[in-house]
Structure 1
């Protein structure tokens, strides 16, 4: 039974629809896969090269594996057509749990990465010394994540403002 025909799952079928063109979605996923493979590789190569904050390589490895696992969950098709709703619901629930884990781990990564101030991480005599490649990669990937979140938030707020102005122009200021 299709989710659009089942009156009990209209929200689930709406969530499944992609709002990006397929080529854009595939390109973004390929970029994310490459970045996460690079994170895992850099974390493994420099695993013992950051005594100032030894958790940074582990952050790169675990977040890279977690993001790859999440991306693979977003690509899984529903195999069983009779139980497609339940398979998809289980998939969405596991994606939600994975996103919660990645968000919590992202917060921890912020604390670990930004705890090394720029004056001390490159100094070999400092207690907060860390490999330059490892630290700069971790710093810029997490900073780019912040910038992406900011762009998404601004886009969402502009969309809400546009919808509000559209509603106001259509209904002429009347409240419904």
Structure 2
């Protein structure tokens, strides 16, 4: 990318720089890949075992596949080793669309999962039953997602407060 283009698109430059060390990024991507594979596998194994909310297995399978596709999209900016890798605008647009889809689908999945929360979902005779493993996995993976989002927001707020304090201390 030449200097004129980088001056005109500072937002693209922010997205192209790495925020974390490469081993941390690779480790997180491997962890997320494993979680997405588990989503697909559990959704497929218990595909017909949740008549109380038959869409939960679909949610796990589709969200797992979308997560793997998004992880693949984040691996696209590859360099030849001589210069830093850059991300093309179409790749960034595809990543943005995937994030919007996964966010909307996450909210939809919350409705499906939490709709069974107060029901006797593990009673074998109840029509609103759902396989215990499937429901609890979907329930807790959703709760862990919320916990992760809360921790991330808290860390960013602490970082922002630290930067504001440092700015006041350093500037006269």
Does TM-score exceed 0.5, indicating one fold?
Answer: yes
Q: Could you tell me how far 1:154 is from its partner in structure 2? A: 0.3
Query: Partners in 2 of 1:122 and 1:149 — Cα distance?
Result: 29
Are 1:25 and 2:25 counterparts?
yes
Give the 5 Å matches for 1:51-90. 51-77=51-77, 88-90=88-90
Query: Partners in 2 of 1:29 and 1:23 — Cα distance?
Result: 10
Query: Partners in 2 of 1:4 and 1:152 — Cα distance?
Result: 34
Contact 1:3 1:13 in 2 (8 A): no
Contact 2:110 2:142 in 1 (8 A): yes
Where does structure 2 lack aligned partners over 5 or more consecutive residues?
Answer: none
Contact 2:6 2:13 in 1 (8 A): no
Instruction: Give the 3 Å change call, closer, same or farther, for CA 140–27 of structure 1 in structure 2.
Output: same
Give per-residue Cα distances to partners, 1:24-65, cap 9 Å, x unaligned. 100110011111011101101111100000000000000000
Query: Partners in 2 of 1:6 and 1:119 — Cα distance?
Result: 55
Instruction: Give the 3 Å change call, closer, same or farther, for CA 145–14 of structure 1 in structure 2.
Output: same
Structure 1 segments, 4+ long, off by >4 Å, are 2-5
Give per-residue Cα distances to partners, 1:98-140, cap 9 Å, x unaligned. 0000000000111111111255111112222000111111111
Q: Which residue of 1 aligns with 2:109?
A: 109
TM-score by length of 2: 0.89
Query: Partners in 2 of 1:118 and 1:63 — Cα distance?
Result: 24
Q: Which residue of 2 aligns with 1:159?
A: 159
Query: Partners in 2 of 1:4 and 1:64 — Cα distance?
Result: 40
Report the RMSD for the aligned CA atoms in angstroms: 2.2
Where does structure 1 lack aligned partners over 5 or more consecutive residues?
Answer: none
Query: Partners in 1 of 2:7 and 2:145 — Cα distance?
Result: 38
Instruction: Give the 3 Å change call, closer, same or farther, for CA 100–3 of structure 1 in structure 2.
Output: farther
Query: Partners in 2 of 1:58 and 1:4 — Cα distance?
Result: 47
2:74 aligned counterpart, secondary structure: helix
Q: Which residue of 1 aligns with 2:42?
A: 42
Instruction: Give the 3 Å change call, closer, same or farther, for CA 26–112 of structure 1 in structure 2.
Output: same
Q: Could you tell me how far 1:3 is from its partner in structure 2? A: 6.7
Q: Which residue of 2 aligns with 1:14?
A: 14
Contact 1:122 1:129 in 2 (8 A): yes
Query: Partners in 1 of 2:115 and 2:4 — Cα distance?
Result: 49
Q: Could you tell me how far 1:4 is from its partner in structure 2? A: 8.8
